Chain A
Amino acid sequence: AQSVSQHNHHVILSEAASLELGCNYSYGGTVNLFWYVQYPGQHLQLLLKYFSGDPLVKGIKGFEAEFIKSKFSFNLRKPSVQWSDTAEYFCAVKRGGSYIPTFGRGTSLIVHP
Chain B
Amino acid sequence: DAGITQSPRHKVTETGTPVTLRCHQTENHRYMYWYRQDPGHGLRLIHYSYGVKDTDKGEVSDGYSVSRSKTEDFLLTLESATSSQTSVYFCATNSEASGSSSYNEQFFGPGTRLTVL
Interface residues of A, Cβ cutoff 8 Å to B = 6, 9, 32, 34, 36, 42-46, 49, 51, 90, 92, 94, 99-101, 103-106
Whether B104 contacts A45 by the Cβ 8 Å rule is no
Whether A105 contacts B108 by the Cβ 8 Å rule is no
6 contacts between A and B (CB under 8 A): A9-B40, A43-B109, A46-B105, A51-B104, A101-B106, A103-B42
Whether A105 contacts B41 by the Cβ 8 Å rule is yes
A46 to B102, CA, bound (A): 10
Q: Is B45 an interface residue (CB 8 A)?
A: yes
Within 8 A of A (CB), among B68-114: 90, 92, 94, 96, 103-106, 108-111
Chain A residues in 8 Å Cβ range of B45: 100
CB distance from B88 to the nearest CB of A (A): 10
* Residue among A46, A90, A92 having the largest count of chain B Cβ atoms under 10 Å: A46
Which 3 pairs across A and B sit closest by C-beta, in order of nearness?
A105-B42, A43-B108, A103-B43
Tally inter-chain residue pairs, CB-CB below 8 A: 46
Whether B50 contacts A99 by the Cβ 8 Å rule is yes
Interface of chain A: mostly helix, strand, loop or mixed: loop
**Chain B residues with a Cβ closer than 8 Å to the other chain, count:** 22
Chain B residues in 8 Å Cβ range of A36: 106
Chain A residues in 8 Å Cβ range of B34: none
* Additional pairs, 13, CB under 8 Å, beyond known A6-B42, A36-B106, A46-B105: A43-B111, A44-B106, A45-B108, A90-B42, A94-B104, A99-B31, A99-B50, A99-B94, A99-B104, A100-B45, A103-B43, A105-B41, A106-B42
CB distance from B54 to the nearest CB of A (A): 12
Chain A residues in 8 Å Cβ range of B62: none
A7 to B111, CA, bound (A): 26
